[in-house]
Amino acid sequence: MASLKEERLESYLVGGQERFYRLAYSYLRDGEEALDAVQTAVCRCLERRDSLRDEAALGTWFTRILVNACMDLLRQRKRVAFVPPEVLDAGSYEDPLPEDGTLADRVNGLPPEAQTVVKLRFYEDMTLREISEVTGWNLNTVKSRLYAGLKKLRVSLEGVTLE
């Protein structure tokens, strides 16, 4: 019989699939890789479920695992040749980011640390303290990276006119 902890973990993983995919996609910008990252993170989570000491920190704990899985794929990507998107067929998942891509492209153009903080804060609606726990960075470091990233976004968007 499954323990209450395992039932809560299962419920969290099943209920958060779309959110996990969106976060992974925001890092990887590729549907298949995002699905791979989520699957890897879920497997790692299940393998290491005994290392979760505080059940209240489940969301932070899993998000850290997912972000690390995405970063692993990004490191592997540097060693892999790309296939043009027109060669691939459209996946069953839609792009969760806006079609105009202006803001999404600008966020992806930020330095990796600022990009991580902005995505976790605004895409995943995490608090600065939660971001600090997920990334392992000091709270003041998270704040400075967020504000520096937002300043760069503001400067880059000043010349853009919206219709």
pTM, two decimal places:
0.62
pLDDT the model gives residue 92: 40
In the DSSP assignment, the letter for residue 100 is S
Residue pair 146/118 in contact by the 8 Å Cβ criterion? yes
- The confidence band for 87, taking pLDDT boundaries of 50, 70 and 90, is very low
- The confidence band for 84, taking pLDDT boundaries of 50, 70 and 90, is low
pLDDT digits 0-9 by tens, 16-69: 899 999 999 988 888 899 999 999 999 999 888 888 888 888 888 999 999 999
Residue from 56, 79, 75 nearest 130 by CA: 56
pLDDT digits 0-9 by tens, 90-120: 444 444 444 555 777 888 888 888 888 988 8
The residue type found at 86 is E
| Residue 152: both structure tokens together | 């760069």
Largest CA distance in the chain: 60
Residue 145 CB contacts under 8 Å (≥ 6 apart), including other chains:
113, 114, 116, 117, 137
Residue from 109, 120, 110 nearest 142 by CA: 120
- The predicted model gives 129-154 an average pLDDT of 90
9-13, 76-80, 98-102: least confident range: 98-102
CA distances from 61 to 42, 47, 149 (A): 11, 13, 24
How buried is 131 (Cβ within 10 angstroms: 0-12 exposed, 13-18 middle, 19+ buried)?
A: buried
- Buried b / exposed e over 11-20, threshold 16 CB at 10 Å, is eebeebeebb
Q: Can you say how many angstroms the Cα of residue 147 is from the centroid of all Cα atoms in its chain? A: 19
